[in-house]
Amino acid sequence: MDKSQAVLSFLQTCPEISATPLFFNFGNVEDNAHQAIINSDDVALHTPFIDGSVAKRFTFSIDSFKSVAYNPVTQEYLANDENLTEFEGVQQILNWVTAQEKLHNYPDFGTDCIIDEMKVLTTKPELVGVDTSLNPPMAVYRLSIQIDYIDNTDKAWK
């Protein structure tokens, strides 16, 4: 399976994502939609090991679109603050990815690749912008995820 397909298939098993539209690279900006963007694929981290295998890195991002509200935070409505609730929803995706790492549950990169580690590069979702031209205005939160793996495709020893 192609690695991009593997990542998309993997993301669709995330409860926060599976119930919402997931786009690849391009898609509609709508509330609660997600967009997976491949940043780099098959980047060798150094020269091959002596057996011909190579350590590689696959990096991708998940953008989460969330409608925003302009209500001030108050103690009374803190638990119902829309912006805070939406942010925590994105945090759930981050927590899910981190939990999958602990379970060694990874995207299926095929039999020639062994995933070493999958990690989110930030501890909190990154607010990358708000599109105020939309109605309602839409915030974009981003999670960047890095997968390090060993590619055994060119090993002489099978």
Partner 1 sequence: MAMAMNLATGAVAQRKTLIMVAEWPETGSETPNREILGTRTEDSSYELNPDIQTSQDILGKTYTDVNKTEPQQTFDPFYLIGGSKLGEYLANAVLENNIDAYTNAFTIYIIAAFISETTGSGTPATYYRTAKHTGCSIIPTALGGDTRNNMPIEVHYSNVITMGKVDKLSDDFAFTADS
Task: Enumerate binding residues for partner 1 (CB under 8 A).
Answer: 46-53, 55, 150, 154-158
CB-nearer residue toward partner 1: 134 or 150: 150
Least distance to partner 1, CB of residue 43, Å = 17
Do the bridges between strand 126-131 and strand 22-24 make them parallel or antiparallel, or are there none, so unpaired? unpaired
Least distance to partner 1, CB of residue 114, Å = 9
Taken in order 2, 18, 88, 139, is the CA torsion positive or negative? positive
91 contacts: CB under 8 Å, gap ≥ 6: 124, 125
CB-nearer residue toward partner 1: 55 or 84: 55
CB-nearer residue toward partner 1: 2 or 51: 51
Q: How far apart are the C-alpha atoms of 156 and 52, rounded to whole Å?
A: 6
CB-nearer residue toward partner 1: 40 or 153: 153
Least distance to partner 1, CB of residue 49, Å = 5
User: How deeply is 62 buried, as exposed, middle or buried, from its count of CB atoms within 10 A (0-12, 13-18, 19+)?
Assistant: buried
Least distance to partner 1, CB of residue 51, Å = 5
